[in-house]
Amino acid sequence: MANMSHELRTPLNAIIGYSERLIEMAIEDDKKSSIKNLEHITTAGKHLLFLVNDILDLAKVEAGKMELLIEEFTVISIVEEVQVVSEALIQANDNTLFIECPEDIGSMRTDQVKVRQMLFNLVSNAAKFTENGDISLRTCREVRDGDDWVVFEVRDTWIGMTPEEAAKLFKPFTQADSSTARKYGGSGLGLSLCLSFGRMMGGDVTMETKVGVGSTFKISLPASITGPVSEETEFIDPMEIDEFSGDTESLAFQLN
């Protein structure tokens, strides 16, 4: 799995890195006719990288090789990070994102990376399927059987789904129907991974939906799970690509 990950990600990172550098060079040289084509390369490369990452994550889950990285973090910080990263997606369809997260909601002790990925998947899905509408991310703390839980609720106000469509939603590589894939794109992996990650952390992901009204997805997680506290990890924007090495001047002829 590690070798496969390296073999797939390394050339993709190089393609994305070179294209981003060429965009910078095109801007510096005022080569406006080249910029749009280079941006298409970058966008397509990032889309493919996200798909590869999801497939590798799913393979790890199914092989029982996915591990939890336990660390303590504040709930409000992860909500703010998802808000920042999702901003461009929200604006793309003229949507508005409303955040409701009490300042005193406290912290969690679980896998921060997976919680962030789950939230980003749900918010980005809501942004994709909603146009000129409202999307809300609400967070609260609950006590269940004497234990603290944190609940994240993502609600959209757009197409909704029938019960038959909703029943397919958490299956890998599956979307509500074929027209959804054609119109909105996507691999059909995000929700399957959300459910797998949620259950790995002792929680669950549930959904309520109504055609023509919208959908509400709820992530319920124990506020603390057992395990050693890891060293603090740095937040990485999902749109940010690893550094690459190479001589971009060798590609400069494309702009001349």
CB atoms within 10 A of CB 59: 14
Please name the residues in contact with 195: beta carbons below 8 A apart, sequence gap of 6 or more.
170, 204, 205
Given this model, what pLDDT does residue 78 score? 94
Q: What share of the chain is helix, strand, coil (3-state, %, to 5)?
A: 50, 20, 30
Given this model, what pLDDT does residue 151 score? 98
Backbone region of residue 227 per phi and psi (left: phi > 0; alpha: psi in -120 to 50; beta: other values): left
Return the CATH superfamily for domain 70-222. Histidine kinase-like ATPase, C-terminal domain (3.30.565.10)
* CA atoms within 13 Å, Cβ hemisphere of 56: 15
The domain ranges of the chain are 2-65, 70-222
Given this model, what pLDDT does residue 165 score? 80
Q: Tell me which of 130-139, 156-165, 244-253 is least confident.
A: 244-253
pLDDT per residue over 92-115, tens digit each? 899 999 999 999 999 999 999 899
pLDDT per residue over 145-187, tens digit each? 999 999 999 999 877 788 778 777 767 555 555 555 445 445 5
Given this model, what pLDDT does residue 175 score? 56
pLDDT per residue over 1-39, tens digit each? 556 666 777 888 888 888 889 999 999 888 888 888 888
pTM of the predicted structure, to 2 decimals = 0.68
